[in-house]
Amino acid sequence: MSEQNIPKGEPVAFQAEIQQVLDILIHSLYSEPEIFLRELVSNASDALNRFKFTKLTEENVLEPDAELGIWIKGDTEAGTLTIRDSGIGMTGDEMVASIGTIAKSGASEFIEAMKEKGEAADEVIGRFGVGFYSVFMVADEVKVSSRSFQPDAKGSVWTSDGKGTYVLEEADIAERGTTIEIKLKEDHKAFAESYRLSSTIRKHSDFVEFPIYVEEKPYTPEGEEEKPAEFKKANEQSALWRESSKDIDDEKYKSFYQALTMDYAGDPLMRLHLQTDVPLQLYSLLFIPSKRNFQMFRSEEDFGLKLYVRKVMIQEKFKELLPPYLRFVQGVVDTEDLPLNVSRQMVQESPLIKKMGEVLIGRIASELKKMAKKDVEKYNTFWKEFGIFLKEGVASDFQHKDKWIELLRFNTTQSETQDDIHSLAQYVECMKPDQEEIYYVSAENFNTVSRSPHLEYFREND
Ligand code: ADP
Ligand code: MG
C-alpha cells in the first residue's frame, strides 16, 4: 500500500498480522514493559545513523547542521512521554510502509514465538523487526510526527490506539526527524518521571552512539523562583570497540553484547576485542553467542557484522567481511583506512575489505584454537553448538580450510559417550601401527563406521 491510496485523516485498518502483534502486546502482562523505551531509542539511533550516512553523499538535506541526538521528555501530570530524534525522518509513504504494513516476515515469526513457544514478548520483541509496536505495551495512544531529510517532502503524522486502525495526515513540521508522543496507560504513568527515564536509558541504551537527553526539572526549594527544566545527557555514548580492553570489565562487555545482538537473556561464549595498526588500522569487537538459537538463524539474509568507517556506521549487516559459514560470529568492525565518501557498493568491492576479512578470520581461528587447548570443556560446548559451521567451512572454503580442520572434533570407535570427542590429530596418534585408513562415524548415524580415503592428507599435514 502507498500513501496515495491512503485516505488522509480517515482510519485505515492495520494488516492482519500487525493487528495480531498489537493484540498480543496490548493484552499480555510483562515483567519488563520498560523495554519499549529501548526499542524506540534503538529506532531513533538507526534513523540518526542513516542520516549520518546519507549526508556523506547527499548534498541537499534538510537542516544539515542540526545536532544529531535524541530528546526525551515526560509529563507526570498529563501522563505523557515524548521522544524526538533528528534522524533521517519518514515521508508519509515510508510511514505507511514501516508502521502499519508488514515490511518484513518478522511479524508472523513473532506471533509464532509467542503462541507456540510461549516466549515472553518483552524479552524477544527486538529480534523480529516489530520493535516499534512494543510501545503499545504502555500506551493508550501513540502519535508519530515525522519530516524526512528530503527538503521538499511534506511532514506527516500517524496516530493510533493500537486497536485496529491508524490515521495518517499531512502536517507542517519544521524540523527534520521523528517525534513520538505517547499517552501512557494509567498503570504506566511512572514512565514519565525523569529519574525513571534516565535509569532505564542507562540500563538498556547506554551504548547508543548519539546523545540521549532527558528533560529534568530542577528541585526548587519552597519560596524560591522555579528553575527552568533542562535536558541532561543520560547515556555514556561510548564506542566500546575503540576503548582499551583494560578499562572494560566482563559486565560491560556482556551488556554491550546484549545490546548489539538483542540476546538479552544470553552471555557470549567467546569475545574477541581486536585493535590493530598494521596492516590496517582496525577496531573490532566480535562475539560468539553461547547458543545458536536465535537471530542468526532467522533467515539466510540475517547475518553480517556491523561495519563502521571512522565511527560512521556504513552498514548494519555487512556480509563481505566473513565467509557465510562464520555467520554465528557477531560484532562490530570499525576502520580508519576506508574513505568515508564512497558508496556501499565501492566499500563492498574494496580490496581493503578482503584484507580486513583475512585479519578477522585469522584471529577467530587462533582464538578458537587457544580455547580448544586451554579450556576443553568450553570448546566442547562451542563444538556442540557451532561445529557444524566449521564443517561447512572445511567443505566450502578451500583457502581457509586448513585452519578449520585443526578445530574439527569427532566421535571415534574409542569414544565412550557421544560427548567424548577427538581431534583428527588425536585420532591419528591413537591409530594402530598397521592401520591405513581413518574410520569415522557419521553424526546422523552413530553406529555406522565408514572408511575415509583422506589419511594421506592428515599424515602429510601432521
Ligand atoms: P526494525 O527497527 O527492526 O526495523 P521496528 O518495528 O522497530 O523494526 O521499526 C520499523 C521501521 O519503522 C524501521 O525499520 C524504520 O524504517 C521505521 N522507523 C521507526 N522509528 C523510526 C524513527 N524514529 N525514525 C525513522 N524511521 C523509523
Ligand atoms: Mg527497531
SS (H, E, C) 209-245: CCCEEEEECCCCCCCCCCCCCEEEECCCCCCHHHCCH
- Using the mean position of ligand 2's atoms as its centre, give its distance from the Cα of residue 301 in Å: 17
- Using the mean position of ligand 2's atoms as its centre, give its distance from the Cα of residue 8 in Å: 26
C-alpha 60/C-alpha 80 separation (Å) is 35
| pTM recorded for the entire structure | 0.80
SS3 for 40?
helix
Among 66, 103, 75, 87, CA closest to 146 = 87
Give me the torsion for CA of 22, 36, 312, 234, rounded to 10°. Answer: 160
Q: Which ligand sits closest to the CA of 91?
A: 1
pLDDT at position 461 is 47
CA 44 to ligand 1: nearest atom: 23
Residues in contact with ligand 1 by the CB-under-6-Å rule are 39, 43-44, 46-47, 85, 87-88, 90, 98-99, 129-132, 178
- Using the mean position of ligand 2's atoms as its centre, give its distance from the Cα of residue 51 in Å: 16
- Using the mean position of ligand 1's atoms as its centre, give its distance from the Cα of residue 346 in Å: 26
Residues near ion ligand 2 (Cβ under 5 Å): 43, 131
- Using the mean position of ligand 2's atoms as its centre, give its distance from the Cα of residue 288 in Å: 23
pLDDT at position 433 is 85
Q: Which ligand sits closest to the CA of 103?
A: 1
Each residue's pLDDT expressed in tens, for the chain with a length of 462 residues: 566 677 788 999 998 889 999 998 888 777 788 989 999 999 999 999 999 999 988 989 999 999 999 999 999 999 999 999 999 999 999 999 898 776 666 788 888 888 877 777 777 777 777 889 999 999 999 999 999 999 999 999 999 999 999 999 999 999 999 999 999 999 999 999 999 999 999 888 888 989 999 999 888 888 888 888 999 999 988 889 999 999 999 999 999 998 888 788 789 999 999 999 988 899 999 999 998 865 555 556 678 999 998 888 888 889 999 999 999 999 999 998 887 766 777 787 888 999 999 999 999 999 999 999 999 999 999 999 999 999 999 999 999 999 999 999 988 777 788 778 888 888 888 888 888 777 765 555 555 555 554 555 555 444
The x, y and z cell numbers of residue 379, run together, are 570448546
Which protein residue has the closest C-alpha to ligand 1 atom 1?
Answer: 129
Which protein residue has the closest C-alpha to ligand 1 atom 27?
Answer: 43
Which residues are 177's β-sheet partners?
147
